[in-house]
């Protein structure tokens, strides 16, 4: 925050000394585009939904201020406030149909809005809206004789946007958006409903972009559809941020500081001899950044100066000092925690699960085994809410959660780990886990304590602040386990958590699972590692071709001829007898 104030002051002092009117104008445009970049970043940089249509907000803001002044004689001081609201509202309106889409479809849809507005405003007759000169009361209508005052206004808007950005970045809002960006499925499984966050982000982003557009209109005194709704406007928001550093606070400012003057100077000096040079340079800048420094210039610079941490991490706490030595398993209470009745899941013509019936008893460890393709992960996806059954029910205690969305299922008390780990890669272990506690704990400090406890429980205490991208397989699995565990679920779904682990790592994880069970959490676990399963599971279910072909105690199930036939094989069973 101090940096923002000092840097802004320096900028203001430096630009105050400029005498040439054209350059004064240019240096008031720089913070305007920086503002658009910051606003764009708040939405796209954090959520990962690239918006190619921010020109829509920019243009709407510009036209709001211009038209209010032309038709209603309303001063831009009020007009700007109005444009902020227009921006926020249009953000929500645009977001409402488009948020259902992901990836490419979203980018395309966002592209369409400003282009459509361009044609509409053209048709409406607003090809050139000039702001009337108000010589009698210039200050009231934001028409400064001294161009440098525009710089002050622009900087004021930019600073407020930066401060808000700063506040958001550290908050749940920012972290939720980052989680959604880095792994939306995992975020949903951790109890985050992406939609409200996305709406909030686009409303804030739209409001600030519209403000920038409004000021742009005031500074240039003229608004045309092509200038504000055109591709270059949308692209400029993107380029400035991508060049400077997406997802960072300083990035868009740096990008604007470098690219805008460059573009303007090129345009001014070479514009008549080489028309379009501005676009070429911007295009080249963006290509260079994508190829050489995909994160942006600012992060690239930072990585050159920060030395990579080469500290050797201590080995995982395989010393079991913190583990309870009680080896007698807690008795199961005999109550049904979850009942799955007649569930069928279809993908087109393929029945992934057919008339599946089973109960999960409170306090037990239920093992789910079966050959590959039997439908085990689909079963979990169904339990977790990623897939909806076409028929049947799942009831948690006495709540029918069949139609619940993933985040609601998480909030109802079901946690899950994934067959292929889904971490929030750029975040630390602690941040990954704490995200899952947000829905359960509104006090952020307590949330961090909950997260830390879960991390200690699984044995990752020494890795609290390590960025997840640097973890080993077993550490990743444990991190995901801690994340699923942190909000104190009633049921944990573990999907092949032991796959590919060495024997000492497997021992560690098994101990952790036992420990978790002793805290009262029910566990359903899919596994292929049979020797571990028979030790761990109280009861087992065998899935084959989407149907339950055996249920019961491990001894019964492993001796069941059907199961041996379908999955275990005679040699395993022969060896298992000993």
Partner 1 sequence: MILIENILQSLYTGVIVGCIYGLMCVGLALIFSVMRVINFAQGESLMLGMYAAFFCFAHLGMQALFGSYVGPFISALLAGIFVFVFGIVVYEALLKHVTGMRVANTEGEGHYPQLTLTLGLSLIIANGGLLLFGSAPLTMRTPLSSSAWELGPLFGTDMMLFLNQGRTIASIVAIAVAVGVSLFISRSRMGTMMRAAADNPQAATYVGIHVGKSHRLAFALGSAITAVAGGLIATYYPFQPYIGIEFVIIMYTGVLLGGMGSVYGAFLGGVTIGLVQQLSTLVLPHQLQNAAIFVAFLLILLFRPQGLFGKSVDRV
Q: Which of 132, 138, 196, 294 binds partner 1 (CB under 8 A)?
A: 294
Q: Which stretch binds partner 1 (CB under 8 A): 12-20, 99-107, 302-310, 548-556?
A: 99-107
Helix (H) or strand (E) holding 365: strand 365-369
Q: Shortest gap between Cβ of 182 and partner 1 (angstroms)?
A: 8
Q: Shortest gap between Cβ of 253 and partner 1 (angstroms)?
A: 19
Q: Is 116 in the site for partner 1 (CB under 8 A)?
A: yes
Q: According to the 3-state scheme, what is the secondary structure of 520-543?
A: CCEEEEECCCHHHHHHHCCEEEEE
Q: Which of 132, 138, 196, 275 binds partner 1 (CB under 8 A)?
A: 275
Q: Which of 282, 298, 439, 567 binds partner 1 (CB under 8 A)?
A: 282
Q: Which of 16, 22, 72, 105 binds partner 1 (CB under 8 A)?
A: 105
Q: Which of 2, 291, 308, 350 binds partner 1 (CB under 8 A)?
A: 291
Binding mask 233-262 for partner 1 (x = CB under 8 A): --x--xx--x--------------------
Q: Is 40 left (phi over 0), alpha (psi -120 to 50) or beta?
A: alpha
Q: Shortest gap between Cβ of 486 and partner 1 (angstroms)?
A: 24
Cα 67 to Cα 82: distance, rounded to the nearest angstrom: 11
Q: Shortest gap between Cβ of 92 and partner 1 (angstroms)?
A: 16
Q: Shortest gap between Cβ of 411 and partner 1 (angstroms)?
A: 18
Q: Give the closest residue to 365 by CA, choosing from 491, 238, 254, 476.
A: 491
Q: Shortest gap between Cβ of 69 and partner 1 (angstroms)?
A: 25
Question: In a 3-state reduction of DSSP, which class is residue 428?
Answer: strand
Q: Is 499 in the site for partner 1 (CB under 8 A)?
A: no
Q: Which stretch binds partner 1 (CB under 8 A): 231-239, 311-319, 444-452, 536-544?
A: 231-239
Q: Closer CB to partner 1, residue 116 or residue 553?
A: 116
Chain CA centroid to CA 469, Å:
16
Question: In a 3-state reduction of DSSP, which class is residue 576?
Answer: helix
Q: Closer CB to partner 1, residue 186 or residue 541?
A: 186
Planar angle of CA 269, 273, 277, nearest 5 degrees: 70
Residue 130 token pair? 């000039």
Q: Which stretch binds partner 1 (CB under 8 A): 29-37, 270-278, 434-442, 453-461?
A: 270-278
| φ and ψ of 276, to 5 deg | 90, 5
Cα 198 to Cα 513: distance, rounded to the nearest angstrom: 36
Q: Which stretch binds partner 1 (CB under 8 A): 207-215, 290-298, 324-332, 559-567?
A: 290-298
Q: Shortest gap between Cβ of 181 and partner 1 (angstroms)?
A: 8
Q: Is 279 in the site for partner 1 (CB under 8 A)?
A: yes
Q: Which stretch binds partner 1 (CB under 8 A): 97-105, 384-392, 448-456, 465-473?
A: 97-105
| 117 CB-near residues (< 8 Å, 6+ apart) | 56, 59, 60, 225, 229
Q: Which of 138, 196, 283, 500 binds partner 1 (CB under 8 A)?
A: 283
Q: Is 449 in the site for partner 1 (CB under 8 A)?
A: no
Q: Is 334 in the site for partner 1 (CB under 8 A)?
A: no
The edge-to-edge listing of strands for the beta sheet with 399-400 is 350-361, 336-347, 391-396, 399-400
Q: Shortest gap between Cβ of 115 and partner 1 (angstroms)?
A: 6
Contact in structure between 216 and 228 (CB atoms under 8 Å) = yes
* Total residues in contact with partner 1, by rule CB under 8 A: 49
What is the maximal distance between C-alpha atoms in the chain?
Answer: 101
Contact in structure between 213 and 67 (CB atoms under 8 Å) = no
Q: Which of 50, 162, 211, 374 binds partner 1 (CB under 8 A)?
A: 50
| φ and ψ of 306, to 5 deg | -80, 130
Contact in structure between 229 and 117 (CB atoms under 8 Å) = yes
Q: Shortest gap between Cβ of 59 and partner 1 (angstroms)?
A: 15
Q: Shortest gap between Cβ of 50 and partner 1 (angstroms)?
A: 6
Question: In a 3-state reduction of DSSP, which class is residue 120?
Answer: helix
Q: Closer CB to partner 1, residue 190 or residue 522?
A: 190
Q: Shortest gap between Cβ of 430 and partner 1 (angstroms)?
A: 22
Cα 289 to Cα 287: distance, rounded to the nearest angstrom: 5
Helix (H) or strand (E) holding 393: strand 391-396
Q: Closer CB to partner 1, residue 92 or residue 140?
A: 92
Q: Closer CB to partner 1, residue 67 or residue 232?
A: 232
Q: Closer CB to partner 1, residue 230 or residue 370?
A: 230
| 484 CB-near residues (< 8 Å, 6+ apart) | 189, 190, 415, 416, 417, 436, 492, 493
Q: Is 108 in the site for partner 1 (CB under 8 A)?
A: yes
Cα 554 to Cα 491: distance, rounded to the nearest angstrom: 20
Chain CA centroid to CA 462, Å:
26
Cα 482 to Cα 489: distance, rounded to the nearest angstrom: 11
Cα 354 to Cα 345: distance, rounded to the nearest angstrom: 7
Q: Is 231 in the site for partner 1 (CB under 8 A)?
A: yes
Q: Which of 56, 60, 109, 365 binds partner 1 (CB under 8 A)?
A: 109
Q: Is 99 in the site for partner 1 (CB under 8 A)?
A: yes
Q: Which of 21, 100, 446, 570 binds partner 1 (CB under 8 A)?
A: 100
Residue 406 token pair? 């993933």
Q: Is 469 in the site for partner 1 (CB under 8 A)?
A: no
Binding mask 162-201 for partner 1 (x = CB under 8 A): -------------------xx-x---------x-------
Q: Give the closest residue to 102 by CA, choosing from 193, 184, 197.
A: 184
Q: Shortest gap between Cβ of 281 and partner 1 (angstroms)?
A: 9
The DSSP call for residue 567 is I
Query: Binding residues for partner 1, per CB under 8 A?
Result: 48, 50, 52, 97-105, 107-109, 111-112, 115-116, 119-120, 122-123, 181-182, 184, 194, 231-232, 235, 238-239, 242, 274-280, 282-287, 290-291, 294
């Amino acid at each position: 925050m101090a940096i923002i104030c000092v840097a802004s002051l320096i900028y203001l002092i430096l630009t105050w000394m400029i005498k040439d009117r054209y350059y004064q104008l240019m240096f008031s445009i720089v913070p305007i585009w920086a503002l658009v970049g910051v606003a764009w970043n708040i939405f796209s940089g954090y959520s990962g939904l690239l918006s190619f249509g921010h020109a829509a907000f920019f243009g709407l803001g510009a036209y709001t201020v211009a038209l209010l002044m032309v038709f209603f004689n309303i001063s831009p001081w009020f007009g700007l406030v109005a444009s902020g609201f227009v921006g926020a509202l249009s953000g929500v309106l645009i977001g409402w149909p488009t948020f259902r889409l992901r990836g490419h479809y979203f980018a395309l849809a966002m592209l369409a809005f400003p282009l459509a507005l361009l044609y509409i405003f053209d048709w409406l007759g607003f090809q050139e809206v000039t702001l009337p000169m108000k010589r009698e009361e210039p200050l009231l209508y934001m028409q400064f004789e001294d161009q440098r005052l525009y710089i002050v206004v622009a900087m004021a808007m930019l600073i407020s946007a930066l401060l808000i950005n700063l506040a958001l970045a550290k908050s749940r809002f920012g972290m939720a958006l980052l989680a959604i960006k880095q792994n939306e499925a995992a975020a949903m499984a951790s109890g985050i409903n992406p939609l409200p966050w996305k709406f909030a982000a686009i409303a804030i982003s739209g409001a600030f972009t519209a403000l920038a557009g409004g000021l742009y209109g005031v500074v240039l005194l003229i608004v045309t559809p092509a200038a504000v709704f055109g591709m270059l406007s949308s692209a400029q928001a993107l380029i400035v941020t991508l060049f400077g550093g997406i997802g960072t606070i300083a990035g868009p400012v740096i990008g604007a500081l470098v690219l805008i003057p460059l573009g303007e100077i090129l345009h001014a000096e070479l514009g008549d001899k080489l028309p379009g040079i501005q676009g070429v340079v911007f295009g080249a800048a963006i290509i260079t950044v994508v190829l050489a420094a995909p994160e942006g210039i600012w992060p690239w610079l930072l990585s050159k100066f920060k030395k990579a941490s080469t500290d050797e991490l201590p080995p995982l706490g395989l010393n079991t000092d913190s583990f309870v030595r009680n080896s007698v398993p807690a008795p199961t209470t005999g109550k049904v925690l979850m009942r799955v009745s007649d569930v069928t899941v279809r993908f087109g013509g393929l029945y992934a699960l057919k008339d599946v019936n089973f109960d999960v008893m409170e306090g037990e460890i239920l093992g789910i085994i079966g050959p590959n393709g039997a439908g085990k992960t689909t079963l979990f996806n169904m339990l977790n809410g990623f897939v909806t059954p076409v028929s049947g029910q799942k009831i948690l205690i006495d709540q029918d959660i069949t139609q619940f969305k993933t985040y609601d299922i998480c909030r109802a008390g079901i946690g899950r780990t994934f067959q292929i780990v889904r971490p929030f890669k750029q975040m630390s272990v602690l941040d990954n886990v704490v995200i899952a506690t947000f829905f359960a704990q509104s006090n952020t400090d307590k949330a961090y304590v909950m997260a830390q406890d879960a991390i200690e429980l699984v044995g990752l205490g020494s890795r609290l602040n390590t960025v997840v991208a640097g973890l080993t397989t077993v550490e990743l699995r444990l991190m995901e386990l801690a994340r699923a565990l942190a909000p104190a679920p009633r049921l944990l779904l573990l999907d092949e958590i032991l796959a590919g682990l060495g024997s000492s790592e497997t021992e560690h994880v098994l101990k952790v699972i036992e420990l978790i069970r002793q805290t009262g959490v029910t566990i359903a676990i899919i596994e292929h590692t049979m020797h571990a399963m028979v030790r761990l599971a109280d009861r087992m279910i065998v899935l084959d071709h989407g149907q339950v072909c055996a249920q019961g105690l491990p001894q019964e199930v492993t001796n069941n001829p059907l199961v041996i036939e379908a999955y275990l094989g005679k040699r395993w069973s022969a060896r298992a007898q000993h």
